[in-house]
Every structure is written in C-alpha cells, then in structure tokens.
Chain A
Amino acid sequence: MNTSSIIRSAVVSLLTLITMTVFSVANAATINLTKCVASMNKTMSDGASVNFWVFGSGGMSCSGGTLPAAAIEVGVGDTLNLTLSVMMAPMEPTPYNGHTIHLHGADVSTSEDGVPDTGASVMGDTYTWTPTAAMAGSYMYHCHVHTVKHLEMGMYGPIIIRPKDASGNFLNQITSNTATAFDYVQNYVFSTVDPAYHTATGDSTVFADYNPKYFLISGNEGKTTSAPAVTLAAAVNKKVALRLIGIHSVNSTFQIKDSSGAAKSFTVYVQDGRAWPTAQSMTSLDISPGQRFDVIFTTPSTSGTWYPQITYKKLRDNAAYATAYGKVTF
C-alpha cells in the first residue's frame, strides 16, 4: 500500500463515518460502500498463475481487491447502499461487457437485484437493501453478468446480517435468539476454479463443461491439514460460529474433524438467511452452489485442533474431487 492509497482509504473511512453519523436514525445505520473491480493474478499450489477479477474498494481507483472480496457486515434494520463503479474494470467484450452486483438471497426489488436480464445497468449502479430481524445470517454479493464466467473469475464476497443491541452495537449472536451466541466467528467461503473458464470469453463451448482444478476455502487451497486455507485461534469451552457460504459450482459436503479424523458435531441455526424452525445438530452437511449455513460448534475442555473441511464432489455421482481444510486451535 503506497502513501496515496493510505490517504485515500483514510478519507474514505472518514467520509463513511460522517455519512453513518449524519444519517443514522434510532441506531439504524446507513452503510455506504463503493466497490470496484480489479484484475488479480494468483499463483496456485502447482505454480500456475490464474487471472481473477475481484471486488476492491473505491471508485476512481481500485484498492484492496481480494478473493473472496471483503465481507460486508450490516446490522438488522441498517440500510446498505452498495455502489459499484466499473471505471477501469477488466471486462468481457459485448454482450457480456460490464458488471453488476447481485445481493444473493436478499430478495430485493427488481431495480436493486443487479440482473442485466431484468434491466440492471452493467455500467455501475447503487444497490440498496434494508434487512429485517428475520433476515439475520449469511448472504453473498456477486456479479450477475455472464455468471458462468464472472462468478468463476472471483467476483463474490460475503454479506453478513447481524443482530444489534439497543445501543446499536452488533451482538455476537447469529440471530436475536440467544442460543446462537458465539465467542468466535469466521467466514468460510467455498469456491472452485476451472482455469479454462478464466481465459475463455463469450459464448464459448468451454463453458459447456466444467473441470475444476483448484478447490478453495476463502480463496486459499488448504490441500492438507498442515497447510490449511484458514485458521482460527480459539479457546477451550468456547462457541465458534462458522458462516458457510457456497459459491462453488459442484456438490460438496462440510464436516469438522479432530486430529484423529473423528467427525465432530455442529449445530445449524440458519440456512439462506432464515432461521431453521428447529436448530439441528449433525456431523455432516451437504452444501450446494448458492447455499449458506450459519453453524456453531463448541470447543472441548482440553486443548487441541479441529479441522473444518469441505469435500468437493461431482454433480453426477458425488464422487470426491478433493478436500480443502481449515483449522481451529483451542
């Protein structure tokens, strides 16, 4: 990060702070964010370089682009104004030029939905959403132009809707239900990468056949427990919430295993941003493309390491492609 970008982020943060202060009504904040699109080359575990398009911050110039994009946290009752600037964005040729943001799972009106096929501009727009208390949970924002390519290119990030207390502070709970309280929380964004989709453009027959080669959690491969994609340092006897966000293009099964490979129990409270009528504990959870689950597990009373992990599977017969690992120490 150079000096000018530090100054720029400071100005942006200050402006955001001012906007939030000026417009907040009865602890309902207005969150104004501007996203942009940057090209990013990533070296994969086999040494190959894959080009991604990722969401960063800023309008005039794009900084902080990551795979997946930075999580956006919105309180229940807050209003999110998410602006997309496509100035300088890498693009496909027409008819798939430009980009949008779709607030996946938000059920917003057509004008906020970011779908070009129902009239969304692909040259920049502001997308507004005011989630209610019943909507606490995990969502995504992602581009909805030529999604067969643009999702694959990396144009996605988490949106987390959080309950707030009377003073407007985020509660460390998944929903307003106190049973969903947690001590630690981490986002697990699941995605898969077929490098051929990254170089093909337009209505290419490449997009008729998906052959994923890299299997990610939150942008990292995490091919073994000793090189996990994500890590979390927790403590014993604590509650850990995981936001499981599926933007992959194959079937998958999520599990948490201890160091000897035994599957550990976790509890699902919310799916697709809606509380399950009855929370359910399990040791294995299938997650299909587009699904989100908010789960909690309790660390044991003696120190150790558990590995939340996802096995990506074929759409035809659920044969495993590969497993990607996370790591939680306590």
Chain B
Amino acid sequence: MQWQLCIRLIVISLIGCLTLPTQAATRTYTLYITAGSLTVNGNGGATLSAWGYTQVAGTPTFPGPTLTANEGDSVTITVINNHNINHNFKIQGVTTDTTAIAPGANRVYSFTASTAGTYLYYDTLNNNINREMGLYGMLWVGPADGSAKAWTNGPAYSFQRLWVVGDMDKPRWNDVAGSGGSVSTSVYKPNYFIFNGKGGFDAMNDTATTIDGGVGQTALVRIINGGQFSYSLHFHGNHIQVLTLNGVRQTSPYKQLDVINIPPLGTADVLYPLNQLGEYVMHVHTAQMETANGVYLNGTVTMIHMH
C-alpha cells in the first residue's frame, strides 16, 4: 500500500513537472497597410495591383505576415493605415472590433490567446474588396508550453505548414480598385488563385509550402481561405486527418479524408502522415482554380515529397 502510494506520488510529481505552465509571453506586432503589387510568375502570370500588410513600413507581403502566440500569451497588434481609404482589422473568432481606421490613423487590438488553433485575420470593409485586394493573413496559436502539438495534450506533429489560399479577379477587381475606380462587386470571376502569395508553379517549389519530410513523420497543415471561392483540396499519397474545421475542434478518432472543402473565410487544421516514399501532388479539384488565367497548374497546387 505504502509502496503504491509512493509510486503514485512520483507519477503525480512527474506529471506536474511535465505540464508545468511556461511563463505566458507578451507578443507585440505592428502591421502597416499599404498599396503594392503581387506577381504570379510563369505562364499565365501577371503583376496584380494589391493591398497588403507589412511589419515595417514599406512594400506589403502576400499573404500578410504570420502572427503566432501560445495559449495564455498577451497579444497586442497595432494596425497603421498608410493607405488612402478606410481599413479595419478583425481576427475571426478572436477579436470583434471592426471600427474603421482612417487613412493615416492607427488602432490597437489586444487580447489573450485563449484557444490553440488557426485563425484568419482580414479587413472586413468595402464589400469584400479590401480582402480581395490581399488584406488577409494567418494567426496560429499553439499550446501554452509551445510544444509541437495541435493543442495541449492534442495530436503531435513533426513539422507544420501554413497554407493561405485566396483568389483575385484581375480585370474586374484588382485593375479597377488598384487605380481608384469603383468595383462592380456583383460580378466576380477570379482568374488568379494565390497559394501562399504565389501561383502554383512557384508554390510547387516553395519549401515553406510543400509537404517535405521523411516517412514516419507527420505534418500539421494549417489552412485558411482568404478568398471568395470554396477550395476543395485533394491530397494524393495519403488521407489526411481532420483536427479542426472552421474553428470547431474535432474529437479523436478523426475523420480521414482525401478531399477537404475550405469555404470562404474557412479554416482547418489537418494532419498528413508521411506514410510512403514518393512524389505526390496536392491540388484543388475545381476546374479553373488549378490555373493562372487559364494556364494549367499555375493555380492552387503544391507538392508532397516523402523520403
């Protein structure tokens, strides 16, 4: 009896050590909003007028800078509008303030990162035009201890990939809004499908986008859709396991799918177990979305390398 109690005490203290909360950090970000351009390279590609965020005043990046925090961290984001029209800033499921920030003004957003997961930040103003022009990006929140798990005591991963997908209608939206014109938003026929700020030809070779690792590893893929079209993503090589979908944490055992549909403003966390050698594709299964202005595979496509 005493012996058992002893063991129990040792186990309890061990667990105590392992789960000892790490010190909550303070995360401070500054995002500048400016006009710039996004270039899709390769056949079918083009340079599109775009509006985006940067962390130091200057040329915006697409998608917006990735924001990260662990559960419990205090996050402060200052958004500075260096553009010539109103903007705002909302993190879906995290912040609610949608007050407009006038040209030249700034606004501060503070919150405590409360739930591990993947979030979309974006500009909600101007009838989707501000978002379509490129004003969106990802916030991901890890467990409090910063471990490589989807959430505290959740599924573990070997490495993660952040996928931000979106779309742009160059002739009817970007060309018009970029030159100060008025977009007729009832028509939207996107001819560019942007994957981590790139066309498919680049996304297939971008090591920050491709799933690349050894057999036996597991990738956590965080996906957000800043576009206005649904993305029906099809994985070759293996099925994924769906951990969260549109902010809803799933329970184990997780659904195993080879296609996941991410609606506009949708989010997902999926595991891709690297289970066999080879080279595979991951692509949207929707006709024109695989193209850049009709040029095949310069759309929403990337590669999976298992070695």
| A288→B237 CA distance, assembly (Å) | 20
| Number of residues of chain B lying within 8 A (CB) of chain A | 42
B36 contacts partner chain A, Cβ-Cβ < 8 Å: no
Asked if residues B280 and A118 are in contact (CB atoms below 8 Å), the reply is yes
| Chain A, 103-134, CB within 8 A of any chain B CB | 104-105, 107, 109-111, 113, 115, 117-119
Binds A, one of B69-77, B111-119, B249-257: B249-257
Asked if residues A118 and B279 are in contact (CB atoms below 8 Å), the reply is yes
Instruction: Assess A274 versus B279: contact at CB under 8 Å? Given A205-B294, A315-B230.
Output: no
CB-CB under 8 A from A104, the residues of chain B are: 234, 258
Asked if residues B285 and A289 are in contact (CB atoms below 8 Å), the reply is yes
| Chain B, 222-274, CB within 8 A of any chain A CB | 228-230, 232, 234, 236-239, 253-259, 261, 264
Partner of B229, one of A208, A274, A315: A315
A170 contacts partner chain B, Cβ-Cβ < 8 Å: no
Asked if residues A96 and B256 are in contact (CB atoms below 8 Å), the reply is no
C-beta contact mask, B266-307 vs A, less than 8 Å → 1, else 0? 000000000011111100111111110111110000000000
Asked if residues B294 and A249 are in contact (CB atoms below 8 Å), the reply is no
Partner of B287, one of A117, A151, A203, A205: A151
Asked if residues B239 and A117 are in contact (CB atoms below 8 Å), the reply is no
B157 contacts partner chain A, Cβ-Cβ < 8 Å: no
Partner of B288, one of A208, A288, A316: A208
A152 contacts partner chain B, Cβ-Cβ < 8 Å: yes
| A107→B148 CA distance, assembly (Å) | 26
Partner of A110, one of B188, B278, B285, B287: B278
| A315→B291 CA distance, assembly (Å) | 15
Q: Which residue of B lies closest to A105 (CB)?
A: B258
C-beta contact mask, B19-37 vs A, less than 8 Å → 1, else 0? 0000000000000000000
Partner of B255, one of A107, A146, A274: A274
| A203→B191 CA distance, assembly (Å) | 13
| A274→B293 CA distance, assembly (Å) | 35
A201 to chain B, nearest CB (A): 11
CB-CB under 8 A from A250, the residues of chain B are: 286
Asked if residues A272 and B256 are in contact (CB atoms below 8 Å), the reply is yes
CB-CB under 8 A from B237, the residues of chain A are: 107, 113
Asked if residues B294 and A271 are in contact (CB atoms below 8 Å), the reply is no
B43 contacts partner chain A, Cβ-Cβ < 8 Å: yes
| A16→B191 CA distance, assembly (Å) | 47
Instruction: Assess A316 versus B236: contact at CB under 8 Å? Given A207-B296, A288-B261.
Output: no
Interface residues of B (CB under 8 A from A): 43-44, 188-189, 191, 228-230, 232, 234, 236-239, 253-259, 261, 264, 276-281, 284-291, 293-297
